[in-house]
Structure 1
Amino acid sequence: MNIESARKWLRGGLIALAALQTFASAWQYIFPRSFYDDFPTVNLDPPYNEHLITDIGGLGLALAGILWFAAWALDNKVMISALIGYLIYAALHFLFHVRHFEHFSLPEALGVGTGLGAEVVLAVALLYLAGRVYQAQRTAK
């Protein structure tokens, strides 16, 4: 894969992560009660706390902003930084949920585990690709 093709994949992947993060975080921040009541499986977690949900939504929007900027800039250091931050968040979120499936049905557990796991896999793949592009550009100079 050449650098330009890799950069296109990176931009597409960063946009996908940013869009997903924006959607969930904006919902959390703007409509916290709806997020708690209507987002699949969230109401299976501990009791509703508006402050906590809106704070998490705000942090998620900050992360989404960094991902959007990385997708726009396509600067290696910005992309790698954004992806490391996202990967830490996504991996910890995934780990929490896979340890707390006791109130979930099998389809709910599979849906949550698969969805959150896919975010981790995509972030790892994009981070690997960004690292390869970075190395290729360094050796080309």
Structure 2
Amino acid sequence: MNLETARKQLRGGLLLLAALQTVVSVWQYVFPRSFYDDFPTVRLDPPYNEHLVSDVGGLGLALTAMLFYAAKVMDDRVVRSALIGYLIYAATHFTFHVRHFDHFSVRDALSVGTGLGLEVALAILLLYICGRISRAGVTSPGQPATTSA
């Protein structure tokens, strides 16, 4: 894979994660009751708590900002920190849900598990691409490789 392609894939992946996180976080923060009532499978969780849902939405918006900023600047440290933060969030969210499928239909469990698992896998893949770019001698994923004289 050439470096320009890797940078485009990394930026595209960051934007995808940021877009997905934006939709859910805005919904949680701006319309917490609607999120609780209307998001598939959330009704299977414990009773509604507006404070908790809107706080999670606000934290998701902070993560969204980090991902969009990382996609804009494409600085190695910024990209890695945004992806590591996102991976920690996605992995803990995935782990919670796969341990609490008691009241879920098979279809809902597969949908939630697959969707959340794909977020974890995408974050890991993007960290891998970022590492490949760094190992190729590029100081920042958004910058061209430098050659030694």
Q: By the TM > 0.5 criterion, same fold?
A: yes
- Alignment of 1:74 with 2:86, yes or no, is no
Could you say which structure has the larger radius of gyration? 2
Distance 1:42 1:130 in 2: 34
> What SS does the corresponding residue of 1:132 show, helix, strand or coil?
helix
Shift of the alpha carbon at 1:40?
A: 0.3
Distance 1:77 1:132 in 2: 14
Question: 2:107 is aligned with what amino acid?
Answer: P
Which one has the bigger helix percentage? 1
Distance 1:67 1:73 in 2: 10
Q: Which residue of 2 aligns with 1:12?
A: 12
Q: Which residue of 1 aligns with 2:53?
A: 53
Q: Which residue of 2 aligns with 1:22?
A: 22
| Larger RCO (alpha carbons 8 Å, 6+ apart) | 1
Question: 2:99 is aligned with what amino acid?
Answer: R
Shift of the alpha carbon at 1:140?
A: 4.8
Shift of the alpha carbon at 1:134?
A: 1.4
Q: Which residue of 2 aligns with 1:120?
A: 120
Distance 1:132 1:94 in 2: 26
Segments of 4+ moved more than 6 angstroms: none
Question: 1:111 is aligned with what amino acid?
Answer: S
Identity score, percent: 67
Structure 1 residues not aligned, in runs of 5+: none
Distance 1:107 1:60 in 2: 26
The aligned length equals 141
Distance 1:90 1:55 in 2: 16
Structure 2 residues not aligned, in runs of 5+: 140-144
Q: Which residue of 2 aligns with 1:89?
A: 89
Shift of the alpha carbon at 1:76?
A: 1.1
Shift of the alpha carbon at 1:2?
A: 1.2
Q: Which residue of 1 aligns with 2:142?
A: none
Q: TM-score, normalised by structure 2?
A: 0.92
Shift of the alpha carbon at 1:30?
A: 0.1
Q: TM-score, normalised by structure 1?
A: 0.97
